[in-house]
Amino acid sequence: MNAMIKRKGFTLIELLVVIAIIALLMSILMPALTRVKKQARTVRCLSLLKQWGLFFSMYSEEYDGKYMGGFRTSPPNRWVSAMAKYHKWDPDVTCCPNATKPWEDSYGPTGYEGEEELGSTSAWGWTEQGHWAQPLKGSYGMNGYCVDPPANLRPHDRPAGDFYRGNNVAGAAYVPLFLGALRYNGWPQETSPPPAFDGQQWDDAGHMGRYCMNRHDGFNNCLFLDFSARKVGLKELWTLKWHKSFVEAGPYTKAGGMMPGDWPEWLRGFKDY
Per-residue pLDDT, 114:
41
Q: Tell me phi and psi for residue 139, to 5 degrees.
A: -140, 20
**Length of the chain (residues):** 273
Burial 137-156 (b: 16+ CB within 10 A, else e): bbbbbbbbbbbbbeeeeebe
Closest CA to 81 of 128, 46, 146, 125: 128
Q: Name residue 88's amino acid.
A: K
Per-residue pLDDT, 5:
52
Per-residue pLDDT, 204:
64
Contact 119, 136 (CB under 8 A): no
Per-position pLDDT tens, the chain of length 273: 455 555 566 787 877 777 877 877 777 766 766 677 778 899 999 999 999 999 999 999 999 999 998 876 777 788 999 999 999 999 999 999 999 877 665 444 334 344 445 678 888 888 888 889 998 999 999 999 999 988 777 777 788 889 999 988 999 999 999 999 998 999 999 999 999 989 887 766 668 999 999 999 999 999 999 999 999 999 999 999 999 999 999 999 999 999 999 999 999 999 999
**DSSP symbols for 141-186:** EEETTSS---TT--GGG--GGG---SS-STTGGGSEEEEE-SSSEE
- Give the single-character DSSP code of 67: -
In 10 A of CB 8, how many CB atoms?
Answer: 6
Per-residue pLDDT, 85:
96
